[in-house]
Structure 1
Amino acid sequence: MVAEARDGHALLAEAIDTLDIGLVLYGPNDTLVFCNKAFKEFYPGSGRILTVGRSRADILRDMIAAGIMPPPSDDLASVMGKALGCQAGDWPLVEQRLSDGRLMLPTAKRTPSGGLVFVDVDVTQTRRREMALLEAKEKAEQASRIKAEFLSNMTHELRTPLNAILGFSEMIMREMSGPLGDPRYRDYADHIHESGCYLLSIINDILDMSKFNAGRVELREQKVDLAQAIDSAIRMTQERARAGRLALSVRLPPGVPPLLADERQIVQMVLNLISNAIKFTPPDGRIDIEGALTAEGGYCLSVSDTGIGIAAEDIPTALEPFGQVDSSISRHHVGTGLGLPLVKSMIEAHGGTLEIASQPAKGTRISLTFPPARVLHAA
């Protein structure tokens, strides 16, 4: 039995010696019982200090004096007192950089018999991977910022020539300098103007989206007449609704409260939702705009249609910038896929939320909920 115990002890010691982690064991009387090979390799020159039977106080003092352990930031007596007087788990153990550049993470625990176990783990590779991931993340964020700033800075360069195209084509359409010789020129001017308007709307959407992504959008808050904002959006879309044989109705309860909001963004949100509904609703369908106060005191504005609808699994795609939900009808319509993401960014900038309820072939309902702080009640 003694021989078996001795063999078992030898095997255990051999196993601990082959570990890649450093392990030191002190007995109940705070003297060294065991120190494995890895720990000694972590701290070159410590072999002559870490001898069995020595007290932890002597070992700690000699390790610091020999420069094997990091020099104390405080006076030696204070450091020794803290290290020897603390209970296990209370030591201010922090990562240590060894002389060869490796990083060690120490831990300490008491044994049931009152002994003390110190374990050192080499975390160099872990920290390097973390640093590599952090650097990659920072580079990606920097690239995103550069892209967003580039798009934002293109405002003048892109809009100026487009405005000229639109202005001159409109002059041709109206024959402001005299009649055109061939009526086809008027059609050409119509096409130029229509294409210019569409291109300008795309550029505006991209620039607005880039500003939101770059966090450069500031709300121009003012008292907004919500009913009037909705009416403005309807005036801009009713001709398209009529051309598509769509019934467009507004059902708002009397006394719609004003909102503390950015008026341009409010109109843009409603305009985008109505335009989307027109785009994806077949002829003879209907589009309804409704609003009501919420139980919490906020205001919910919704636009519903009887269009093609969106499958539940496609809704996240529809809310992603440039996301295009694939369908036989949507493929017949041009668009960048920025309408809904812009609305989502705008309502969130106001502290509100966007919700989509939809079923394929049955229609879609998109609700914008403004928080109570945005609702201005009459005094």
Structure 2
Amino acid sequence: MKLPLTISWYFGRQFAAAVLAMAAGLAGLVALFDFLELLRESATAPNATFGILVEIEALRLPWSLMQIIPFAVLLGGIYAFWRLARSSELVVTRAAGISAWQFLATPVLTACLLGALCTTAISPLSAVMYGRAEQLDNTYLKPSGGPLSLNGGSLWVRQADNGLTPQGFAVLHASNVHLQNHALEADQVSILRLNANTDLLERLEAQHATLQSGDWKLRQVFVLRPDAAPQRLPQMDFPTDLTVNRVQESFASPNALSFWALPGFIHLLKRSGFSATQHELVFQTLLALPLLCSTMALVAAGFSMRPSRRGGAGTMLVSGVGFGFALFMISEVANQFGTSGAIPVGLAAWAPALAGLFLALALLLHLEDG
């Protein structure tokens, strides 16, 4: 039997309204606790005014929404389906010959579209705002910190270098790396230029270097080549595809990059010798978000469609919430394994959503009687 458009629209509207209301409530709750943590951190940061803290929290809000949207789908879906079951609307719908799979199509599609919207549209906004929040955090709450200081001010880079041989590459190490006048300054810079067989072709030792305009501006350079006398140059330009922003982003959180920018940046990180595991995990997690939201909608339906006259509705609802949080814990454990490299990144991102989907489908098959 084909699902009437009116019923389809009605179920979808009830589900979407409950999910959006739950998302707003959860986002506000998370923001409140996060703001309290910011207040605690600001106790030792005299420059962090109340207005700065409010701005940081407001900038973090889209990112928080991205994190809680699967649980908003779960809790909002549980409330919507429980309300429909309590008012016997689901019973009447199924008595009319419409199966659970038919009237669940619209809520599941709504959840999938919501996840896709978060991935493709909210993610870029979240990345920009989260990056700005990190800058304010490093400036006012951690003035002696910053992304480069987390690495001890040291920089290692591997990049393509076709200047001496085809398919050659260069390995660069710099100490005391710091930002100054929108340029990256470094001391004691060493550059090893190798061919595709990793044979050393040339070594550059510079007292000081500045990264700007797609070049390393080397000063007081010694050029060392096999079977040749050392050569000293007052200055030298070494081309690079790195920029100041890309170096900063490589040390910053991958959450500060949008879904659309992540693939190209992951490729750049791999070429430059940085670890791209965290960025790949974030990218795969964003790809899996529509599936995860759809899974949560099915989980909500499976644990809340039981008619209230049969009893045990409260137990089913509590079980649904517990199942959702168990899925969250599994996802977090999988992310930790993926970050450490113990399991492939794709498996860490997709396995929890797929496992939850199969379990939800099994529950619905068990409950569906027609």
Task: State the TM bucket, normalised to the shorter chain.
Answer: under 0.3
Which structure shows the higher helix fraction? 2
Q: Which of the pair has more CA radius of gyration? A: 1
**Under a length normalisation based on structure 2, what TM-score does the superposition of the two structures give?**
0.21
**Under a length normalisation based on structure 1, what TM-score does the superposition of the two structures give?**
0.20
Whose RCO is larger (CA < 8 A, sep 6+)? 2
